[in-house]
Structure 1
Amino acid sequence: MLLALLLCYAGFTALCLSMPRHHDELLGHKPSNRRAKSLKLAGWLLLCLSLWAAVAANGWGFGLVDWFAVLMISALLLVLLMPYRPKLAMAMAALSLLATPVAAWAW
């Protein structure tokens, strides 16, 4: 479930960065069309990978329940961090991407 959580948080952060307002707030400039599309694609790919990780760990019955729980937790964490600590939200996304191979190996 840790692997699914890390992938979900990174995916939601990529989707958040694909929006011009959040990209400007966090990185100081608006994204180009190509960057916005690539961030959207990466975000959806990471969310699909998190679904795969949850289902592979617990089967379809409990895997979908775990995945929806992980979706809610990671989205809530990002929503709570963005207004008050946006740089921490970015740092946590980078750490989640770095920790993903470790979590995959430990799984």
Structure 2
Amino acid sequence: MLLALLLCYSGFTALCLAMPRHHEDVLGHKPSASRRQGLKIAGWLLLGLSLWAAVSRKGWSFGLVDWCAVLMLSALTLVLLLPYRPRLVITMAGLSLLASPVAAWALN
């Protein structure tokens, strides 16, 4: 479940940064059209990978329930951090991407 959480938070952060307002809050400038498109694709890809991580571990019945819980937890974390600590959002997303291979390795 840790792998799904890490991937889900990174995916939501990428989707959040695809919006010009949030991109400017976190990074200080508006994104280009190609960067917005890349962030959207990366965000959806990471959310898909988080679904795969949850379902492959526990099957479709419990995996979807775990994935929904992970979705809510990561979205809540992002929503609570974004207005008060926008720079911490990007730091946590980077750390979660770096920790994802370790979490995937720990599953085996």
TM, length-normalised to structure 1 = 0.99
Runs of 4+ in 1 over 3 A off after TM superposition: none
2:40 alignment partner in structure 1: 40
- In the TM superposition, what is the alpha-carbon distance from 1:79 to its structure 2 partner? 0.2
1:7 alignment partner in structure 2: 7
For residues 42-87 of structure 1, the C-alpha deviation after alignment (integer angstroms, 9 at most, x for no partner) is 0000000000000000000000000000000000000000001111
1:60 alignment partner in structure 2: 60
1:96 alignment partner in structure 2: 96
2:71 alignment partner in structure 1: 71
Could you tell me which runs of 5 or more consecutive residues in structure 1 were left unpaired when the two chains were aligned. none
TM, length-normalised to structure 2 = 0.98
2:17 partner amino acid: L
| Residue-pair matches, total | 107
Could you tell me which runs of 5 or more consecutive residues in structure 2 were left unpaired when the two chains were aligned. none
Identity %: 75
User: Are residue 24 (structure 1) and residue 24 (structure 2) matched?
Assistant: yes
2:78 partner amino acid: L
CA RMSD of superposed structures (Å): 0.4
